[in-house]
Structure 1
Amino acid sequence: RLTFGEQRRGKAKQVISCDRSHKKYDLCSITGATVVDPATSTFFLVDPTISGPGSIVEKIKPYPRKWENFPMQRIKELTITSGPSGPECEVQHNSPAIVFSAGGYTGNVFHDFNDGFIPLFITINSIYKNQDVVIVVSKARDWWLNRYKNLLHVFSSHPIVTLDNDTSTHCFPSATLGLMSYGFMALMPNSSQTLLHFRGLLDKAFGHHGQYSIFNPPPKSDSPPRLVFMSRSKGIGREILNQDEAVKVAKEIGFDVILFEPTGKISLQQAYGLINSSHAMVGMHGAALTHSLFLRPGSAFMQVMPLGIDWVGKMCFGEPARAIGIQYIEYKIKVEESSLVEKYDKNDMVIKDPASFQGRNWSFDVMKIYLKEQNVKLDLVRFRDYLMEAYSKAKTFMEKMG
């Protein structure tokens, strides 16, 4: 940890400090009057006791994937400096700023939450618990602001300050640049705040809007359990090739099945309304399963796991589901269900031992094989057994919770 500043007699310490000890993120703090100039992406610590030009200059890319070059190349670097004066203040804020980037992998719903909103939740609860904050965002595109405005306003009651579009200087009593992250959809170890608390924020943001118009109405008390069957577009990999037949099996078992493919045209309020009112979800491993956070605790969730995805699937969606009290089921496909057997010999390490083939290198080439080139044709006899387990859990949940 690097700390700069000085103690002024009888007054609070004016400090710029940057902690670069973490693998996933850097975190810089400005303790003292802070002026932000969006035109230069510079944060000034204003301290009249400093004589001469400010000698402190820190740089930070406020996005919690610092170990990964590809997304970090797309993150704008922000500058922190200090001096006896800064730019003239045009907009005064009474709450501290929390600053991060919505660049990188933003646009993929998993990364929107994993690299954005969950780290934001952690950082606010770690540094500004029970305090009001102003959110300052770099690379905040209009679609992102519109899609997530309700969630952003749960974190902060103030208008969002966007560094790329704003031309006014802003003043804050202090600022934190960067977000804390502890792994796939994970909160700080041993924290009193859990993923269930985070889900509570989602309910505040997206719940109680009553937007069911694009789907069936909410299920009635005498209806069968509702299953949201997550669908994937053709041509992007990990498609369930016999999806229609799988849906038919689910209906035969007794589910009321809603086939759902999230798109930008469907608001998060609408998606939340559908999923939160349902009793089960089934889907192929992929970013869209981030919507499992919208399931109520106690409902059932089955992830279809293609070859080579074991640890990724567990960490991204299996463990988070369990953490919020969802009854998690894992359908690991057999080799014969993967389209990769048409391209690779069954004795090829790609098929025979994906873990050894991957080693410790989850590279682009490895991802391409298992995430892009692979489709799945479900063994419907075997899949039926798993669906029956999901139905049993969903029906019990429905009878208890409605």
Structure 2
Amino acid sequence: MAASSSSATAPAVKGVARTLAHRRQAVVGFLFALIVILVLHTTVVFGPFQSTNANVVLESTSGEQNAKTSSPLAAQAASAPNNSTQAAVHAIENGQKDDVAKNDRETRGQLGQTGKNDASDDKTQEELIRQELDRDVKRGAPRKPICDLSDPRYDICEITGDARAIGANRTVLYVPPADERGTDGPEWAIKDQSRKQLGDIKEVNVKTLSAAQSLVAPECTSRHTVPAVVFAMNGIIGNPWHDLSDLLIPLFITTRAYDGEVQFLVTELQPWFVDKYRLVLTNLSRYDIIDFNKDAGVRCYPHIIVGLRSHGDLDIDPARTPRNYTLLDFRLYIRDVFLLPSDDRGIPYKEASKKNAAGNDNGTAVTENPKPRLLLINRGESRKFVNLPEISAAVQAAGFELLVMEPSRDMGMEEFARAVDSCDVLMGVHGAALTNFFFLRTNAVLLQVVGLGLEREALHYYGNQATAVMVQHIQYFISAEESTLYEKYGKDHPAVSDPDSVHKQGWQGAKRYFWAEQDIRLNVTRFAPTLHQLIRTLQE
């Protein structure tokens, strides 16, 4: 019995041992599989998911939702990480580790590419937002003031849009577009002449209407398709220098670029000025001149300028004009307006000499050589020549054909312009009448007789300008004895012996002596060399 029991127990022990060995193997296998699953779960699921979310955050917050849904794997990782673990276990059990790794690499690449596209889209969206913000800033930015009061000579206002001119109360209104209306409206009082320092220029009111005022703006009684310019026809006009320097040249600067497509609204309209310079005014504007003071309606224009631009005394700065106009352009323009011969024909003396030479070549008898023609302007009041007959004789003896004229306000400009154009030399004492040098041809001569105390003025008001318009400028400076101030006050009076000291005392003293009281008794002997120099200049 004992032997039988031992033999029976041995197989049982072996069976138990075998069972334990199998169980131990199963436990080891389970633990190994568990470790592999945990490693793969950490790498596949949490690694790509966290990386994708980081890219979205760094690239653009606004593109975050698109990045989350652009990859199926990312969606699965976000919603069901247990499913990802089960898939990995299933792949290991079926020996598909390599395929899983390949798919994982492809998935990572897809996520990375998606992040790049989203980043590009996000940048584009940001740029669009930035542009929109810029536009909003521009919409809300204050408009440039329609009036500029910064120039020392003139004030100017320019209105583009709904501009309404009301002559009855000397007012020009600007009605802004609805989206640009403010709670208040700026207002300016403008002297609409080229010299804003003049005390007798009445002001024109220019006003931008507020939002509330725009709703009750006066209705238009007439609508115009061309711009308008509001300007005063007064001041110290009345002689040619001020007529051109204060009105015609500023009007040319301000309106020439419109080529006549502009209307003038004139405050303090002067009928004599309109009659005298009608050719210029009707050329600069093809439309009726409106007497703004007497205009009862509400005129509406797409563009209104109030005031006149001015660059200096009888001057034009091409850098400040729309088409780089120069003073020479103005001279040529004036000649065209008054229908004078083309400027390229040359001065009359040389033209006559050419005809004379052609006549000799053709065998036509010529009895006399042509003479240069000199227009002598004699002033009627101050700074006149007191020995005019003696001067006339000396000019003719020097070889000139002489024409003497005394201009007046009533003299027609067409007649005077043709007379100046027909001459080679314009001669006169420093004064307003010399402004007619604009009617001379290129290379003709302005001969300026300069009285005592007028040396700087002669160059500033005429010499520089004549050179700018291609007219030659010759000056004759009188001696003290040739001024009637010498006869009246004697050689020791400051006005005779030291004119600069009089200038230093102010304008009134200089005006009294040098402009108002002084006449000229020309010493023809002393003047003779100037005449001979003039002949040589014309012959060159």
TM-score where L is the length of structure 1? 0.85
2:491 to 313, 337, 346: 346
1:108 to 223, 231, 239: 239
Query: Higher strand share goes to which structure?
Result: 1
1:123 to 244, 250, 254: 254
1:201 to 333, 342, 345: 333
Residues in 2 aligned to 1:86 and 1:171: alpha-carbon distance in whole angstroms? 12
1:228 to 364, 375, 380: 375
**3-state SS, counterpart of residue 25 of structure 1:** coil
Confirm or deny that 1:60 pairs with 2:207. no
**3-state SS, counterpart of residue 182 of structure 1:** coil
**3-state SS, counterpart of residue 382 of structure 1:** helix
Residues in 1 aligned to 2:300 and 2:532: alpha-carbon distance in whole angstroms? 58
Per the alignment, residue 90 of structure 1 pairs with 221
**3-state SS, counterpart of residue 55 of structure 1:** coil
Change in 2 beyond 3 A, CA 1:89/1:132: same
What is the CA-CA distance between 1:129 and the residue it aligns to?
6.0
Residues in 2 aligned to 1:34 and 1:14: alpha-carbon distance in whole angstroms? 16
What is the CA-CA distance between 1:89 and the residue it aligns to?
1.8
What is the CA-CA distance between 1:322 and the residue it aligns to?
0.8
Which has the bigger relative contact order, CA under 8 A and spacing at least 6? 1
2:279 to 135, 138, 150: 150
1:137 to 260, 266, 282: 266
**3-state SS, counterpart of residue 296 of structure 2:** coil
In structure 1, list runs of 5 or more residues that go unmatched.
Answer: 1-6, 210-218, 397-402
Instruction: Map 1:165-314 to 2 at 5 A.
Output: 165-188=294-317, 190=319, 192-208=324-340, 221=355, 223-233=370-380, 236-314=381-459
Residues in 2 aligned to 1:299 and 1:136: alpha-carbon distance in whole angstroms? 37
Per the alignment, residue 152 of structure 2 pairs with 23
Residues in 2 aligned to 1:377 and 1:174: alpha-carbon distance in whole angstroms? 54
Change in 2 beyond 3 A, CA 1:81/1:53: farther
Query: Higher helix share goes to which structure?
Result: 2
Residues in 1 aligned to 2:372 and 2:151: alpha-carbon distance in whole angstroms? 45
Q: Which has the larger radius of gyration?
A: 2
Residues in 2 aligned to 1:305 and 1:155: alpha-carbon distance in whole angstroms? 35
Per the alignment, residue 288 of structure 2 pairs with 159
What is the CA-CA distance between 1:118 and the residue it aligns to?
1.2
- The code of the aligned residue for 2:196 comes to K
Q: CA contact under 8 A between 1:138 and 1:164: conserved in structure 2?
A: yes
CA RMSD in angstroms comes to: 2.7
Deviations 1:36-62 (A, max 9, x none): 111111001123627799632210001
Q: CA contact under 8 A between 1:36 and 1:43: conserved in structure 2?
A: yes
- The code of the aligned residue for 1:226 comes to R
Confirm or deny that 1:315 pairs with 2:460. yes
Q: Percent identity?
A: 30
TM-score where L is the length of structure 2? 0.64
**3-state SS, counterpart of residue 294 of structure 2:** coil
Instruction: Map 1:359-398 to 2 at 5 A.
Output: 359=504, 362-396=506-540
- The code of the aligned residue for 2:195 comes to R
**3-state SS, counterpart of residue 39 of structure 1:** helix
Residues in 2 aligned to 1:297 and 1:198: alpha-carbon distance in whole angstroms? 13
Change in 2 beyond 3 A, CA 1:177/1:390: same
Q: CA contact under 8 A between 1:327 and 1:393: conserved in structure 2?
A: no
What is the CA-CA distance between 1:132 and the residue it aligns to?
3.0
Q: CA contact under 8 A between 1:26 and 1:178: conserved in structure 2?
A: yes
**3-state SS, counterpart of residue 78 of structure 1:** strand
What is the CA-CA distance between 1:155 and the residue it aligns to?
1.6
**3-state SS, counterpart of residue 145 of structure 1:** helix
Q: After the TM superposition, which of the residue ranges 286-295 and 262-271 deviates more from structure 2?
A: 262-271
**3-state SS, counterpart of residue 329 of structure 1:** strand
Deviations 1:335-391 (A, max 9, x none): 1101111233423332222123212x6512321111111111011011121122223
**3-state SS, counterpart of residue 394 of structure 1:** helix
Per the alignment, residue 77 of structure 1 pairs with 203
Q: CA contact under 8 A between 1:154 and 1:201: conserved in structure 2?
A: no
Residues in 2 aligned to 1:74 and 1:185: alpha-carbon distance in whole angstroms? 21
What is the CA-CA distance between 1:318 and the residue it aligns to?
1.1
Residues in 2 aligned to 1:120 and 1:94: alpha-carbon distance in whole angstroms? 20
- The code of the aligned residue for 2:336 comes to K
Q: CA contact under 8 A between 2:241 and 2:432: conserved in structure 1?
A: yes
Deviations 1:307-332 (A, max 9, x none): 01111111111111111111110011
- The code of the aligned residue for 1:66 comes to K
Q: CA contact under 8 A between 1:225 and 1:395: conserved in structure 2?
A: no
Deviations 1:152-192 (A, max 9, x none): 12222222222123333321111111222222211116463
Change in 2 beyond 3 A, CA 1:106/1:43: same
**3-state SS, counterpart of residue 343 of structure 1:** helix
